């Protein structure tokens, strides 16, 4: 059997890892590769080098291809489909000769408050700080010289896809983090385009926004084919052939929804890693504009309410590295995964109030709570119980506290119905601990399937397969339910009343302590 003729490749560029996943027609992962990378704070901007983008993609593909060749005794020469996913939002502008005009400004940057406020008021639609349009308008307000030369503005996924295919397109889910979408037309909102044009012209920005944004595609559309140049970018050895069809490039939110079967109304998913966000598929739009809530879409264009927080696991990771250093100084070389599992499980024996400990995981600004800058912080009273279990429980509570504030708007003010939330990401790797935490925090059932660990690279591989199989299944929701997840196993944790009360009490102290975090952000340079 020639596996080359029945495989789908998904590549996702996450915040800490670039991952490549190859699946077969049964949606099972048959080969994978990964590359670790980190964003850098340069001149006050969180960024990645585009050279590192290709270094990471090539390294992860090389590892995947080697595994495939070893397993099947033949080189990986072609694919049935390919998809690219990456971190949403941000700012990647290019001129007419495809020259990069400014550093890649990622979702983590919170320097666009002035633009976001003006755009939200003018458009009557929440424009978060990290959205591409906020970055563009802020650059216009700042008088940055490069803006008059912009010929193409895209996201990281859109950039990679363009280099592979020559097509300036983007999946609707990723597009919805650039500029508002009209779910009735599955395209940019024309009224808001006109409003932006009027606003920008007053500041000297004369380009038509529609001319520099990617063309909008939905799940199942053909988004071009791998060119010879694109094939060499993926595989410099020349083994991989051109001509592979690509699905629309998507953001990590869209691939997360896909990977957790959360694209139908009243379903939702929680992605918990470096950042944390929850996405709920709605029957209709919200009744009001909330700065804490993004309105985006599924990969097929359905409206989605998104509570997004910039900070989640970074502070946990820092403490784990500290404990690992301590163990190594005593000659103990523990597996990092074992250390995480031990500490997660240890937190279950902590005091209900975390021993009075309070932590803030703000490595960067946090728009949900109104912070432009952040400082990781641990606070305790002299009579607090500083134990390892209490410390780690406080760190875990802190990782989801900002998300709780955003989600309360949906469940308490908008009365949004949530049948079930599906979890994926690093916070869920230790069995049930992350599930119990989120179920208590959000007071809703949280499920994790046996596919949850596959992540966004697997999700975009599924979208590549859907492009080939759309005619057989119809909607993306039917395809996922009837084909992909038909026989999958999952565990679902219901909220425990005692845990719900403990987390609610922690949130009261957390909110009262926010001025402490603000003082740290303002005074610690």
Q: Which helix (H) or strand (E) holds 140?
A: helix 132-141
C-alpha to C-alpha distance for 295 and 298, rounded to whole angstroms: 10
| Chain centroid to CA 346 | 28
Letter string b/e over residues 296-312, b meaning 16 or more CB atoms within 10 A of that residue's CB: bbbbbbbbbbbbbbbbb
Q: Directed axis angle between helix 113-123 and helix 132-141, to 10°?
A: 110
Residue at token pair 């009744």? 287
- Report the candidate in 390, 379, 395 with the shortest Cα–Cα distance to residue 355: 390
- Report the candidate in 267, 240, 198 with the shortest Cα–Cα distance to residue 477: 267
Please tell me whether residue 287 adopts helix, strand or coil conformation. coil
The residues, ordered by sequence, that sit 6+ positions from 12 with a Cβ below 8 Å of its Cβ are 18, 19, 84, 85, 86, 252, 255, 455, 456, 457, 459, 460
pLDDT confidence of residue 1: 41
The DSSP bridge partners found for residue 250 are 85
Cβ distance 33 to 62 under 8 Å? yes
Q: Directed axis angle between helix 455-473 and helix 252-259, to 10°?
A: 70
Per domain, the residue ranges of the chain are 314-405+430-447+496-523
Residue at token pair 């879409």? 297
pTM confidence score = 0.83
C-alpha to C-alpha distance for 413 and 48, rounded to whole angstroms: 38
| Chain centroid to CA 416 | 22
pLDDT per residue rounded down to tens, the chain (525 residues): 455 568 999 999 998 899 999 999 999 999 999 999 999 999 999 999 999 999 999 999 999 999 999 999 999 999 999 999 999 999 999 999 999 999 999 998 989 999 999 999 999 999 999 999 999 999 999 999 999 999 999 999 999 999 999 999 999 999 999 999 999 999 999 999 999 999 999 999 999 999 999 999 999 999 999 999 999 999 999 999 999 999 999 999 899 899 989 998 888 989 888 889 899 999 888 889 998 898 999 999 999 998 989 899 999 999 999 999 999 999 999 999 999 999 999 999 999 999 999 999 999 899 889 898 999 999 999 999 999 999 999 999 999 999 999 999 999 999 998 888 998 778 888 889 999 999 999 999 999 887 666 688 999 999 999 999 898 888 999 999 999 998 888 889 999 999 999 999 999 999 999 999 999 999 998
CB atoms within 10 A of CB 247: 31
């Amino acid at each position: 059997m020639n596996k080359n003729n029945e495989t789908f490749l998904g590549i996702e560029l996450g915040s800490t890892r670039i991952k490549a996943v190859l699946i077969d027609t049964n949606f099972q992962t048959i080969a994978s590769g990964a590359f670790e990378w980190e964003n850098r704070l340069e001149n006050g901007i969180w960024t990645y080098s585009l050279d590192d983008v290709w270094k990471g993609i090539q390294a992860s593909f090389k590892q995947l291809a080697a595994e495939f060749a070893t397993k099947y005794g033949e080189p990986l020469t072609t694919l049935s489909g390919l998809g690219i996913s990456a971190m949403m939002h941000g700012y990647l502008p290019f001129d007419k000769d495809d020259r990069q005009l400014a550093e890649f400004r990622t979702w983590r940057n919170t320097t666009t408050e002035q633009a976001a406020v003006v755009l939200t008021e003018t458009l009557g639609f929440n424009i978060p700080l990290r959205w591409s349009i906020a970055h563009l308008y802020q650059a216009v307000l700042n008088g940055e010289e490069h803006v008059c030369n912009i010929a193409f503005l895209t996201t990281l996924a859109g950039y990679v896809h363009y280099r592979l295919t020559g097509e300036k397109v983007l999946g609707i889910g990723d597009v919805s983090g650039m500029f508002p979408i009209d779910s009735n037309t599955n395209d940019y909102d024309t009224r808001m385009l006109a409003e932006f044009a009027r606003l920008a012209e007053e500041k000297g920005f004369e380009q038509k926004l529609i001319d520099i944004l990617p063309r909008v595609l939905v799940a199942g559309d053909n988004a071009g084919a791998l060119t010879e140049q694109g094939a060499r970018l993926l595989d410099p050895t020349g083994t991989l052939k051109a001509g592979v069809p690509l699905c629309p490039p998507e953001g990590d939110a869209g691939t997360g929804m896909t990977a957790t079967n959360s694209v139908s109304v009243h379903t939702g998913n929680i992605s918990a890693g470096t950042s944390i966000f929850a996405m709920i598929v709605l029957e209709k739009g919200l009744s009001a504009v909330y700065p804490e809530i993004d309105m985006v879409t599924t990969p097929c264009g359905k409206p989605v309410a998104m509570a997004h927080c910039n900070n989640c696991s970074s502070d946990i990771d820092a403490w784990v590295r500290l404990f690992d250093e301590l163990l190594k100084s005593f000659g103990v070389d523990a597996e990092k995964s074992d250390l995480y599992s031990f500490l997660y499980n240890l937190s279950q024996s902590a005091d209900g109030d975390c021993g009075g400990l309070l932590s803030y995981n703000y490595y960067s600004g946090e728009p949900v709570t109104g912070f432009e800058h952040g400082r990781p912080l641990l606070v305790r009273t002299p009579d607090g119980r500083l134990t390892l279990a209490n410390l780690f429980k406080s760190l875990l509570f802190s990782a989801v506290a900002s998300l709780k504030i955003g989600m309360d708007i949906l469940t308490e003010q908008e009365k949004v119905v949530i049948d079930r939330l599906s979890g994926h990401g690093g916070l869920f790797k230790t069995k049930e601990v992350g599930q119990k935490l989120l179920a208590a925090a959000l007071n809703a059932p949280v499920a994790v399937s046996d596919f949850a660990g596959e992540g966004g690279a697997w999700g975009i591989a599924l979208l590549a397969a859907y492009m080939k199989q759309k005619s057989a299944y119809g909607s993306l929701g039917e395809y996922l339910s009837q084909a992909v997840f038909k026989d999958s196993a999952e565990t679902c944790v219901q909220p425990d009343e005692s845990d719900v009360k403990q987390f609610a009490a922690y949130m009261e102290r957390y909110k009262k302590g926010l001025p402490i975090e603000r003082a740290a952000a303002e005074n610690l340079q």
